[in-house]
Amino acid sequence: MSLIDQTESGNWLLQTLSESDFGLLQPHLRRIDLKVRDNLYEPDQPIEHVHFLEAGVASIVSAQEGGEQIEIGLYGRDGMSGSAVVLGAGQSPHGSMMQVDGATSLRIPSDRLADACDESRSLRNLLLRYVQTLALQAAQTAAANAHYALPERLARWLLMCHDRVDGDEIPLTHEFMAMMLSVRRSGVTVTVHTLEATGAIGASRGLIVVADRDRLEEIAGESYGEAETEYRRLIGPFGKNRA
């Protein structure tokens, strides 16, 4: 199997690595296809592989009593799955699954990634900086859930997905949005219609189209942007225009 070329990787973290740090990972990276609802790791189970997504969006979810799942974070080509591996924990009480399909991942065995981090301080430090942005995103999600109404929360969530996909179309069902935002499906339906009325988005069955990103950011207000700014400070360009 041919080695993955760093310049051809669609993952922003891998693109940011020095040539020598990428070389530590390169022999162990394998490109795989992922589809919606694929599990990337299970809660309270050893994380066997870490995924550097090249497309699509994955959720970090907390399982509640009765089987309900609540999203506490998301990532795409900006990051990686299994941050517990970088932290030396090996597993997490949370799980992760794909929420937007059409994705590819550069997958590496967790022990190989851990070995590479032991060998290179600069590699470990970059991945730890990414973990910092993910922790800030989770904190911002908690704050948004506590202080903002559903239109602002949904606007923020759509912006976060929009940052991580090509184009303006996001394949999402109302059912999935309701699960990720921990609200009733009827509430999501009403809120989608509310955002449509502003001209910020268009919606059809299983598809959201961001029609006016500036308007969507205006609706989201201060619930959106802190984690994204931190990513730019600690790692590099982020978002639609990678600026």
Same-domain check for residues 86 and 172: no
Give the predicted TM-score (pTM) of the model. 0.93
The verdict on residue 161 lying in a domain is: yes
b (16+ CB within 10 A) / e for 121-146: eebbebbebbebbbebbbebbeebbe
The verdict on residue 167 lying in a domain is: yes
Please report which confidence band the pLDDT of residue 181 belongs to, taking 50, 70 and 90 as the band edges: confident
The number of folded domains in the chain is 2
Would you state the pLDDT for residue 234? 97
204, burial (CB in 10 Å: exposed 0-12, middle 13-18, buried 19+): exposed
Give percent of the chain above pLDDT 90: 73
Q: Residue 194's domain is classified under what CATH number?
A: 1.10.10.10
The verdict on residue 90 lying in a domain is: yes
Q: Which of 142, 177, 210 is the last residue of a domain?
A: 142
Same-domain check for residues 76 and 128: yes
Would you state the pLDDT for residue 27? 96
Range of the domain at 217: 148-224
Top-confidence range, 1-5, 112-116, 140-144: 112-116
Evaluate if residue 107 carries a pLDDT over 60.
yes
What type of residue sits at position 198?
A: T
The verdict on residue 235 lying in a domain is: no
- What is the C-alpha separation between 223 and 141, in angstroms, rounded? 8
Which tokens hold the place of 3? 């080695």
The verdict on residue 128 lying in a domain is: yes
Q: Which of 142, 171, 190 is the last residue of a domain?
A: 142
pLDDT in tens, 200-227: 999 888 899 999 999 999 999 999 999 9
- What is the C-alpha separation between 34 and 18, in angstroms, rounded? 27
